[in-house]
Amino acid sequence: MSVPRTIRRVVLTGFMGAGKSTVGAMLAKTLGWEFLDADTAIEAVAGKTVAEIFAQHGEEAFRSLEAEAVLKNMLRGNLVLALGGGALETESTRRILASAAQTCVIFLDAPLDVLVERCLAQPYAAERPVLADRDGLLRRFNSRLPHYRSAQHTISTKGLSPEAVVARILDVLAGGCISDSATKGATV
């Protein structure tokens, strides 16, 4: 599968449980591109797990490591990058993504209850600091939604297998990742 030369990287965004890592790894394999999970990149730099960074240094320290990891990797080509669910809370990251050339940013969307259910089914659910803060979940979800929605494309993943989500992303890429809003505008 080849993608138009105008696209050199795909960035997946969305809340925890959206499937960014699973889908991202499968997509990268299909494209013959590299896959990078931002959380893994942060853990490698810090020499600590995400949970340890939150517990020992706090969320703010984690967010700056996260912003650095995105910045450092945004110039690489043939890359599928899965962002952490909170990466778009950081304004500099939002700016980088909004102005990044040859980059297709895709929001993997699902209702909050589906996302929480998926997270709880994962073996490392207990290690997710943001999931542990149940009261804050809805607030975070709602405040992040407008940022997620600024991606060029939104794919609703509810009821879809990871393979089906990959197939939709491949369609988006084959179409040159023309943004949802541009398409809507053209049909009105």
Give the residues lining the site for ligand S3P (CB under 6 A). Answer: 16, 20-21, 39, 50, 84-86, 128-130
Q: What is the DSSP string of 40-65?
A: HHHHHHHTS-HHHHHHHH-HHHHHHH
**Least distance CB 84 / ligand S3P (angstroms):** 2
Q: How far is the CB of 68 from ligand S3P (least distance, A)?
A: 13
Q: Indicate the pairing of strand 103-109 with strand 153-156.
A: parallel
Residue 67's nearest CA partner among 33, 97, 44 is 97
Q: Between 9 and 118, name the residue whose CB sits nearer to ligand S3P.
A: 118
Q: Which CB sits closer to ligand S3P, 139 or 183?
A: 139
Q: What span, in angstroms and rounded, lies between the C-alpha atoms of 127 and 146? A: 27
Instruction: Pick the closer one to ligand S3P by CB: 3 or 79.
Output: 79
- The CA distance from 143 to 81, in Å, is 22
Q: How far is the CB of 22 from ligand S3P (least distance, A)?
A: 10
The beta-strand segments (E) located in 15-138 are 34-37, 79-82, 103-109
Report in angstroms how near the CB of residue 122 gets to ligand S3P at its nearest: 9
Residue 4 CB, nearest distance to ligand S3P (Å)? Answer: 28
Q: Name the packing angle between helices 112-120 and 134-148 (round to 10°).
A: 120
Q: Which is nearer to ligand S3P, 81 or 130 (CB)?
A: 130
Nearer to ligand S3P, 81 or 86 (CB): 86
